[in-house]
Amino acid sequence: MLLETSGRIYRVAGPLVVAEGLKPMMYEVVYVGEEGLVGEVIAIRGDKSYIQVYEDTTGLTPGEKVVATGKLLSAELGPGLIGSIYDGLQRPEKVIGEITKDIFIRRGLKVSALDRSRKWYFEREKSLNVGEKVEAGYIIGYVRETPIVIHKIMIPPGVSGILKWIANDGEYLVEDTVAVVEKGASKYDVKLYQVWPIRVPRPFKDKLDPGEPLITGLRVIDYMFPLSKGGKAAIPGGFGTGKTVALQEITKWSHADIAVFVGCGERGNEMSDALTSFLKLMDPRRNRPMMERSVFIANTSNMPVAARETSVFLGVTIGEYFRDMGYDVIMVADSTSRWAEAMREISGRMEEMPGEEGFPAYLSSRLAEFYERAGRIVTLGKPERVGSLTLIGAVSPPGGDFSEPVVRGTVRYVQSFYALDYGLATRRHFPAVNWLLSYSLYISYVKDWWNKLTDNEWESYREVAMKILQREAELSDIVRIVGPEALPEDDKLTLEIARMIREDLLQQSAYVPTDAYSPPEKDHLIMKAIITFYNKARYGVSEGIPVAKIRELKSRTMIARMKYHTLDDLKGKIFKEVIETIEREFSELLR
């Protein structure tokens, strides 16, 4: 006789298994078949339970056992996360490789997410005393996880009471109890790690407005379409436009304390390339390896499609955990379109009524569940701290069609939109962000930060640059018909300055170290030189100087070379020399 916690397979349809005789709750984790494949209940219809299986279902047959665990799909959160590479079920891939001696993950394999044998040095919070009342979010101690990340051990959400005992400084396993909280007759043992359901947003005290920009090192984003800490952004683009490279660059160079990179259904060679480069890279602000502040979740295209959803929610849960410590976290998902394709496949196998282009009707709400977990917040507990989680998702519309459902669904929830252009990519203009289609709704929030950094010049300079680029687009049709030489001199100047903005400011090379990452001060110095040149040239044109002569000036070449210099060199003497050369050359032209 079957227990209430077990049932039998009724039907198998790829990653979807229908079980009967099971009495589960929604989103409960179940073990399917003799090998105990991990699955999740996604629908209950009468006595039939529809299970999304996160491993290969080849060989499963009706009648095999299905066991309910009574638990939701959860993440283990504690020391050992940083520097790890997980699959969509938070199984450490390095450990799996050591066990299986194979490049593929064996199905049914169960491995702890955190190393149970490694000891961590725990240092208790000195201001916290036994007998004090504690609540969720209180920091009880610290673990130096890497040289640049201090892991703060917190009271888990939902736990409060009197601190009855706290461990002394020393080495402990993640499963060791380091504090005991008592409330009435119940006691709760606080360990170095905690478990949290990945579909449930972690609680916080208050949500704050955006304020400070998240510097990414990419000038087209930082200067023209800024992204705020705690913001939401999408990077849509067709095949070959550079989505993955752009996301990798943002993850590498962003001014975030913690970076979480989720490869959701992407090609294995792309994930391999990202991992290889991260292992070699140094953090430019801390001069330490990038892996000492990064977490990778690799769910490649040859893995079961259902696990793409878990990889996205696992990544955002890990991001929220570090956010609760008071860190600025960036989480990148490449790409949400692969996740949407997995939803479409599962929905089709469940025989649900399809929406537009076959995607399920709940596509938009699932995207909202993901993006709405971003934000800049005041955390629970003491000491009071502010943390942020910034979410950036790539979207891969077929044929670069931005009117398809995933792009349109994403646009509803993001506030920065970086549209990648195939035409720019074919001209080797990277990052291939189309400045006419892209936008940021964070400009009004970050303008005070930028204006303070640039002596109130950023807002006006950015506005001038955008007007020049828009005017260039208006003139492009005329140029195609009559050629640039038929234009009046002021329009010729507009085209020349637009080319300077495109090539000398917005275009970057990931292969030149001094240009791959550009700090905000450097962005502004380049723009200031271009605007200074533009103002002088505009006056010169009004005095009858032809644009052909202006184009040949030495200062034009000096501006083009500015992006290849370091910020220290620019601030030292190069920027001053560029401005002096502009002044001198235009004075000579006007004599």
> Distance from CA of residue 166 to its chain's centroid?
36
375 is in an annotated binding site: no
Q: Which pLDDT does position 2 carry in this prediction?
A: 39
CA separation for the pair 505, 463 (Å, rounded): 15
At CA 78, angle to CA 77 and CA 79, rounded to 5?
A: 145
pLDDT in tens, 470-484: 999 999 988 988 888
Q: Which of 16-25, 179-188, 236-245 has the lowest mean pLDDT?
A: 236-245
Residue 303 corresponds to which tokens in the numbers above? 């893995």
pLDDT of residue 477: 86
Residues 71, 5: contact at Cβ < 8 Å? no
Residue 287 neighbours by CB under 8 Å, 6+ apart: none
The CA-to-CA distance between both ends of the chain, in Å, stands at 102
Bridge partners for 387 per DSSP: 377
Max distance between CA atoms of the chain, in angstroms, equals 102
* Residue-by-residue DSSP string for 299-367: EETTS-TTHHHHHHHHHHHHHHHHHHTT-EEEEEEE-HHHHHHHHHHHHHHTTPPB-GGG-BTTHHHHH
DSSP code per residue over 46-91:
TTEEEEEESS--TT--TT-EEEEEEEE-EEEESTT-TT-EE-TT--
Sign of CA dihedral 363, 365, 369, 371: positive
Taking residue 249's Cβ as centre, other Cβ atoms within 10 Å add up to 21
Report the C-alpha gap between 436 and 78 in whole angstroms.
44
Residues composing the chain: 591
| Residue 122 exposed, middle or buried by CB count within 10 Å (0-12, 13-18, 19+) | buried
| C-alpha–C-alpha distance, residues 379 and 234, integer Å | 26
Cβ burial of 8 (10 Å; 0-12, 13-18, 19+) is middle
Q: Provide the pLDDT confidence category of residue 402 given band limits of 50, 70 and 90.
A: very high
Q: Residue 505 and residue 194: Cα distance in Å, rounded?
A: 46
CA distances from 271 to 130, 233, 398, 510 (A): 47, 21, 21, 17
Alpha-carbon distance values, 157 to 135, 138, 386 (Å): 8, 10, 17
Q: How confident is the model at residue 460 (pLDDT cuts 50, 70, 90)?
A: very high
Q: Is 240 annotated as a binding residue?
A: yes
Is residue 417 marked as binding?
no
Residue 545 has pLDDT above 70, yes or no: yes
Confidence check: pLDDT of 506 > 90:
yes
Question: What pLDDT is recorded for position 239?
Answer: 87
State residue 3's pLDDT score: 42
Is residue 88 annotated as involved in ligand binding?
Answer: no
Distances (CA, A) of 394 to 266, 338, 406, 436, 496: 11, 10, 10, 19, 33
Does residue 451 have a pLDDT over 50? yes
pLDDT of 1 > 50? The answer is no
Q: Does the pLDDT of residue 103 top 80, yes or no? A: no
Structural domains in the chain?
6-72 (2.40.30.20), 115-192 (2.40.50.100), 206-442 (3.40.50.300), 458-589 (1.10.1140.10)
**Mean pLDDT, to the nearest integer, of 245-263?**
91
CA distances from residue 34 to 54, 220, 305, 540 in whole angstroms, order as listed: 15, 53, 21, 82
Predicted confidence (pLDDT) at residue 272 exceeds the cutoff of 70: yes
pLDDT confidence of 106, banded at 50, 70, 90?
Answer: confident
533 is in an annotated binding site: no
User: How many other CB atoms sit within 10 Å of the CB of residue 450?
Assistant: 23
Known binder of ligand: residue 381? Answer: no
Cα–Cα distance between 11 and 404 in angstroms, integer? 33
Confidence of residue 202 (pLDDT cuts 50, 70, 90): very high
